[in-house]
Structure 1
Amino acid sequence: MANDISQWSGKRLHFIGIGGAGMSGLARIALSHGITVTGSDAKDSTVLSALQALGAQVSPEHKASQVDGADYIIFSTAISAANVELVRAQELQIPVLTRAQALATLMSQDRSIAVAGTHGKTTTSSMLTVALQSCGLDPSFAIGGTLTSSGSNAHKGTGDLFVAEADESDGSFIEYHPNAAIVTNIEHDHVDFFAKPEDVTKAFNSFAATISQDGILVYCADDAGSAALGRNPKLRPDLKVVSYGTIEGSDLYIDSINLLAMGSTARALWKGRLVGTLSLQVPGLHNVLNAGAALAMGLALGAPAAELLSGLASFHGTGRRFELKGTVHGIRVIDDYGHHPTEITVTLEAAKRYAGDGRVLAIFQPHRYSRTQAFMKEFSTALDIADEVILLEIYAASEKPIPGVSAAQIASAMENGQFIPNFFEASDWVIENAKPGDVILTLGAGDVNSLAPIICDGLARRFNSPV
């Protein structure tokens, strides 16, 4: 099995599930290294077309013969063990790598920074990337969302840093062995894999133990789980441990926070010394903390504070993270990936601030039956922050339905919720009921984002107004 990217020189990598956000990014970086890339996905998409334009040979269907002649197979955890290409690869005894193992190999020649946490890792890794770019360091990056500034989720930079989003959902982030790591927060999620909260804690402790000798661990002092990790007396003594947050005594201390409708400002102090004003164009206290994580890591790496702050000030967000999709007749349509009660709470609080005197109308699609069952009460409480909420049925992802578990149960426990499982009826409801000044939010990790352009078009027809 490859563990150094030099071993892939002259080899052919075949990606099963190449159209996914994470997999397509790895394929893009492999192509940048001059490695031959082939791949397949269950359907055609613009992602496949873009990879094809970069030199990959891709197919919009899975066929066993497509792995013949490949030197390594890389597969997404969303791929079934019964997938015909995966089965064929095992028959031919072609080395099979998970996405995490492949990413570890791609990072092997760089100083790698892994950004982990139950929430905020996509935004934080994006912020760190933009901040380092502002310093002229041109890092490579592989992120779970698309950077608004570049329109890409992955890039092979000219510098020796590599920023990677570290997904904890299946415990595979222990494969990365980074030189430095950020842990934004630790909370119970991915209940299909982590049965109990302590299982999540154990996984993050294992992740911290993989950081390289004399490496850096940046943790959030405001989050109980992350703080417990950073202050764990069993951490290796060689690690440089750095804290950030609004808690006095944090290495990167943030105070004088002013939350605005679509941004914020705050004062940043590094080890007691004022380094400047943190100005953001993305809303919410959670994003102030995400920016604090990026700033703390940049400073710990020795990057100049002024350039880091300048980069963070220029950050416009990532795809599906409070992303403005259109404004019609004073009605703003926002799409967001939030799918855990904690994420929904901070997103809806930001949306209420953004709406001002207007209302927040949300369409929420729960993601996975197991998560819905585990956090039913928490979902209903979080969603009631909005003025009106439409509940779509659960997006199963790779799960089989759990008898008796439905989004209708969340709606029935809410004051402001109603269950409308049909996508077109749900979008018609918000189109007909929205008023100028309102904010419409499509919310969830499934395919609810497909409604945002439909809603924009419907509002344009209703008000005879351009998007």
Structure 2
Amino acid sequence: MNINQFTYYYFIGIGGIGMSAVARYFHQMNKKVMGYDKTSTTLTKLLTKEGIKIHFEDTLEAIPKALTPDNTLVIYTPAIPKNHLELNYFKDNNYNIIKRSEALGYITQETTCLAVAGTHGKTTTSSLLGHILKVANLPSTAFLGGIVENYNSNIIIGGNEISVVEADEFDRSFLQLSPDYACITSMDADHLDIYGDQSEMEKSFLEFASIVKKQVFAKTGLNVPGALSYGVEEKADYFADNIQIKADYFIFDLTHPQGKIETIPMHLPGRHNIENAVGAIAMAMKMNVAENKIKEALDSFQGIKRRFTRHKTSSGKIIIDDYAHHPTELNAIIRATQNFYPNKSVTAVFQPHLFSRTRDFLDDFAQSLAVLEDLIILEIYPAREEPIPGITSSLLAEKIELINDKKPKVCSLENALREISHYDNDIILLMGAGNIDTLYEPLKNKIQ
């Protein structure tokens, strides 16, 4: 199938972070893009403003009469329920129907594909890579899992010869891709509801590495046959050294097989982001990006929404919002906060994401969060899941108390602002992948 042959592109679940990037891709190609989502969000409002028609009721009456099986491609997310009226209409009438991962698979077949996989770090690494290629004026498009501040978008459009793709391991979606180069940022256990255990998940990553046509890069410590390593350790093929922390940014050198790039500036916090930057630079070098363009891109990269997004109030207090929802990510964000603000007190607010993840990593979450002096835990955000008996935020709080003799406060999202107001710390740190980000703007308005 030639994925570009259709007139209409109909998205079911168009408001998702990954789906909306693909929708924007076809929209910029002057295709007629439209679709359904369950609820109106900031992202769907942006899509509508860009000229994409979206409705929020699952009804056949919303499907335009002009759509036929010959002129329309239907793209859907697996999160859509099986009894969805519109999806079943398209199935019953023999429309071309594919998942988002399959759409990306077709796109990557027609381009030089740079794919970034990993349970943590893939959004930042792929966004940095997409920005580097854009600054270097290479004909590329980056499909991302976050909103890049420089573009206020989850897609960076600069041409159709190179694709940068955030390769999602969730349901083995990344095996649909056709990567020429790939980077694996991490293989920590996650999505155990899908994989069962970590060894099965690692097998999936190794299978992904095996389909890469030219070169795989893997963070130091990951056992990926044939991969070039990167990181902050000197034993890596690509590594950062001479790392310096300035006022609120890093400067580092990068040693690579052909030499060294000196004094690279980067405004993202945390050692983990230096590793992400090294991975992005290693892949960009395979596209022959000039050294000065790499440094220009790293210096100008403004970050990703909900990845250590910071706001300083007029009173000097700092609000940080981050997507961290796995113990490894919590460790990285807490460490970054401590490194950048070593003498400031912190009120941390964590919203667990998924009952299954909370169950699978309960002890690890407790160890990560026990280092925090003032901690509020919100009720578990269920997303696609039903509650699991006995798995609650209160259970997590009890586990933390066993470690540090201090039981965190547990409350609902609705009561969070009131609970936060009981603390008078320098920093408010919001962490979680659910809807905890809805506290960010109210906090900015409340704390002047």
Whether TM exceeds 0.5 here: the answer is: yes
- Given that 1:349 and 1:385 are in contact with CA atoms closer than 8 Å, whether structure 2 keeps it comes out as no
Residue 108 of structure 1: CA displacement? 3.5
Name 1:238's counterpart in structure 2.
none
Distance change (3 Å), C-alpha of 1:386 and 1:354: farther
Structure 2 residue matching 1:391: 3-state secondary structure: strand
One-letter amino acid matched to 1:411? A
- Given that 2:130 and 2:156 are in contact with CA atoms closer than 8 Å, whether structure 1 keeps it comes out as no
Distance change (3 Å), C-alpha of 1:420 and 1:382: same
Structure 2 residue matching 1:146: 3-state secondary structure: strand
Per-residue CA deviation, residues 363-385 of structure 1 (Å, 9 max, x unaligned), is: 11100011000000110111123
Name 2:263's counterpart in structure 1.
277
In 2, the alpha carbon distance for the partners of 1:396 and 1:53 equals 30
Residue 66 of structure 1: CA displacement? 3.8
Q: What are the within-5 Å matches in structure 2 for residues 147-296 of structure 1?
A: 147-158=148-159, 160-212=161-213, 215-221=214-220, 224=221, 227-229=222-224, 232=225, 241-259=227-245, 262-271=248-257, 273-296=259-282
Residue 50 of structure 1: CA displacement? 2.7
Matched, 1:440 2:438: no
Q: TM-score, normalised by structure 1?
A: 0.89
Q: How many percent identity over aligned positions?
A: 31
In 2, the alpha carbon distance for the partners of 1:258 and 1:17 equals 44
In 2, the alpha carbon distance for the partners of 1:160 and 1:137 equals 8
Runs (4+) of structure 1 exceeding 3 A deviation are 64-68, 259-262
Residue 332 of structure 1: CA displacement? 0.4
Name 1:368's counterpart in structure 2.
354
Name 2:106's counterpart in structure 1.
105
- Given that 2:347 and 2:423 are in contact with CA atoms closer than 8 Å, whether structure 1 keeps it comes out as no
In 2, the alpha carbon distance for the partners of 1:249 and 1:375 equals 31
Name 1:429's counterpart in structure 2.
419
In 2, the alpha carbon distance for the partners of 1:386 and 1:95 equals 51
Of residues 442, 458, 464 in structure 1, which corresponds to 2:446? 458
Q: TM-score, normalised by structure 2?
A: 0.93
In 2, the alpha carbon distance for the partners of 1:131 and 1:166 equals 18
Q: What are the within-5 Å matches in structure 2 for residues 394-433 of structure 1?
A: 394-414=380-400, 415=404, 416-433=406-423
Name 1:32's counterpart in structure 2.
28
Matched, 1:355 2:351: no
In 1, the alpha carbon distance for the partners of 2:341 and 2:414 equals 24
Matched, 1:76 2:51: no
Aligned residues: 439
- Given that 1:13 and 1:38 are in contact with CA atoms closer than 8 Å, whether structure 2 keeps it comes out as yes
Structure 2 residue matching 1:446: 3-state secondary structure: coil
- Given that 2:77 and 2:100 are in contact with CA atoms closer than 8 Å, whether structure 1 keeps it comes out as yes
- Given that 1:431 and 1:459 are in contact with CA atoms closer than 8 Å, whether structure 2 keeps it comes out as no
Per-residue CA deviation, residues 408-441 of structure 1 (Å, 9 max, x unaligned), is: 1111122355243222422222223123xx1101
Of residues 309, 325, 328 in structure 2, which corresponds to 1:342? 328
In 1, the alpha carbon distance for the partners of 2:253 and 2:157 equals 33
In 1, the alpha carbon distance for the partners of 2:363 and 2:330 equals 13
Structure 2 residue matching 1:329: 3-state secondary structure: coil
Structure 2 residue matching 1:144: 3-state secondary structure: strand
- Given that 2:248 and 2:267 are in contact with CA atoms closer than 8 Å, whether structure 1 keeps it comes out as yes
Per-residue CA deviation, residues 71-91 of structure 1 (Å, 9 max, x unaligned), is: 222111221222222222222
Structure 2 residue matching 1:6: 3-state secondary structure: coil
In 2, the alpha carbon distance for the partners of 1:271 and 1:40 equals 48
Name 1:57's counterpart in structure 2.
53
In 2, the alpha carbon distance for the partners of 1:390 and 1:46 equals 26
Per-residue CA deviation, residues 293-337 of structure 1 (Å, 9 max, x unaligned), is: 011111122221221122112212101000014424111001000
In 2, the alpha carbon distance for the partners of 1:63 and 1:135 equals 45
In 1, the alpha carbon distance for the partners of 2:277 and 2:302 equals 12
- Given that 1:259 and 1:285 are in contact with CA atoms closer than 8 Å, whether structure 2 keeps it comes out as no
Structure 2 residue matching 1:400: 3-state secondary structure: coil
- Gaps (5+ residues) in structure 1? 236-240, 461-467
One-letter amino acid matched to 1:47? L
Name 1:465's counterpart in structure 2.
none
In 1, the alpha carbon distance for the partners of 2:76 and 2:407 equals 39
- Given that 2:379 and 2:413 are in contact with CA atoms closer than 8 Å, whether structure 1 keeps it comes out as no
Residue 260 of structure 1: CA displacement? 5.2
Identify the range of structure 1 (247-256 vs 339-348) with the bigger mean alpha-carbon deviation.
247-256
In 2, the alpha carbon distance for the partners of 1:419 and 1:385 equals 15
In 2, the alpha carbon distance for the partners of 1:266 and 1:49 equals 39
Residue 261 of structure 1: CA displacement? 6.4
Name 2:87's counterpart in structure 1.
86
Per-residue CA deviation, residues 57-105 of structure 1 (Å, 9 max, x unaligned), is: 2102222344573522211122122222222222222222111111222
Name 1:7's counterpart in structure 2.
5
